[in-house]
Amino acid sequence: MERAHQQSRRAFLRHSGGLVTASTVMGLSAAQAGTASASADVDRSRQQVTTLADSHYYLSDVSLEEGFEREGDVVIGTRTGIHTLEIQNGRIKALHDANATLDTALPRYGARGKLLLPAFRDMHIHLDKTFYGSPWQAPRPRQGKTIMDMIAREEVLLPQLLPTSQMRAEKLIALLLSQGSSVARSHCNIDPVSGLKSLEHLQLALANHRDSFECEIVAFPQHGLLHSKVDGLMREAMSMGVHHVGGLDPTNVDGAMEESLDAMFQIALDHHKGVDIHIHEASPAGVAALNYMIETVEKTPELRDRLTLSHAFALSILQPEELDEMAGRMAAQGIAVVSTVPIGRRTMPLPQLRAKGVKIMTGTDSVIDHWSPFGTGDMLEKANLCAQLYGGSDEFHLSRALAIATGDLLPLSDDGQMAWPKPGDKAEFVLVDASCSAEAVARRSPRQATFHQGRLVFGAVDRA
């Protein structure tokens, strides 16, 4: 039985790896192909538009989920209907039935029956340092390399990347928009090599996309807060408008767990910022760091709801009773986890964390850089991986898996009631070529258009 399980596990990993690798090749080119296709469509038909300048308009022929179809107690399908959204000043003003009488004075656009889903959220990406946007370059071999070796490699690469880092960041933003993500959280290097230049370039890139893309910035001491002696630079970054203080493996990199974490939290407290720490340590040292951070938040009310654990691999080595206890404490303090949904020996206990009330988010991490070449910028891929890893192959669980990509916004509640969109909601959504969210998750369906604050920021819709 054990041998069969191992074979099954290897087959799953082989299949998943193939999916990820293939989707990387296809996903990266799909963004460019999608843009080219949209332009070609505009050439072929004047009825299609790629920009909307209207502050008040209708978006008709939209497919919305209306409820579950059941066979006894089992959800076997999702019922949808065609509706019209009335959008004004970046919000959904009203939902109209397909046969409703509309104001003929308002501009009207058509979605061609595509499914409306909440905009996706990429809550862990590094927009500031990437090979994306330049000719193919694979990372150097990682075998036998420590994190300090990788940091040394980065010290050589950063000066080469800095002159074009703004351009690369903007290309990554365009990729995310093409995949349906208009909200993100980007970590940005603060280190002795790049100083504050990476941050300055990222802010310029974001300023050029302020109307189409919303992004929080984490000041990230990639080379170690203590190891690289960047406390002063981190504090300067706080004054430049970043949203969170970052951190990195306090034992493996800084060599002083408590001192490193205390310094990170002190910067956050002094500047009234949140904290988002990379914590990769899957060891007793990692567990100790998690416990120390939770204890710090428990003793410091100002940090409640303001700590995010990125990766947090140490959670994957806990015994079930230890995990339940720690997850309960995390939920009580509003401590969130951002996971890239890794496969293999680092598979994370995300369902157990969510069951205890811990907020779970996901992100790309890197699309292609000196750490990894496998990112696609596709949050539907992350939802798909969740469904595969945690047994979500049926209609109901596939639809629930979407939550990790949308910040927990789902079209239907667990009992099948319409939960989104509603009048007053932000007009931030994606049009997907799928019959329902379950299909979108399972098939990683193509995206036709992305809207942010009522603006069409990727793709095309019809002029009705």
Q: What is the CATH number of the domain that holds 92?
A: 2.30.40.10
* Segments forming the whole domain that contains residue 424: 37-120+408-463
Tokens 């079209």, located at residue: 411
What is the Cα 122 distance to its own chain's centre? 2
Helix, strand, or coil (residue 74): strand
| pTM greater than the 0.85 cutoff | yes
Show Cβ contacts of residue 388 under 8 Å, excluding neighbours closer than 6 positions: 12, 16
pLDDT at 39: 41
Radius of gyration of the chain, Cα coordinates, nearest whole angstrom:
22
Is the residue at 176 inside a domain?
A: yes
Work out the percent of the chain whose per-residue pLDDT is above 90: 83
Is the residue at 9 inside a domain?
A: no
Is the residue at 67 inside a domain?
A: yes
Is the residue at 426 inside a domain?
A: yes
pLDDT at 143: 86
Split into its structural domains, the chain has a count of 2
208 and 67 in a single domain? The answer is: no
Positions in the chain whose pLDDT score sits under 70: 1-46
pLDDT at 1: 38
pLDDT at 181: 98
pLDDT at 176: 98
93 and 133 in a single domain? The answer is: no
Tokens 């567990």, located at residue: 287
Buried b / exposed e over 28-47, threshold 16 CB at 10 Å, is bebbeebbeebeebeeeeee
pLDDT at 29: 40
Is the residue at 24 inside a domain?
A: no
207 and 139 in a single domain? The answer is: yes
46 and 127 in a single domain? The answer is: no
How far, in Å, are 18, 82, 401 from residue 13 at the CA level? 8, 39, 19
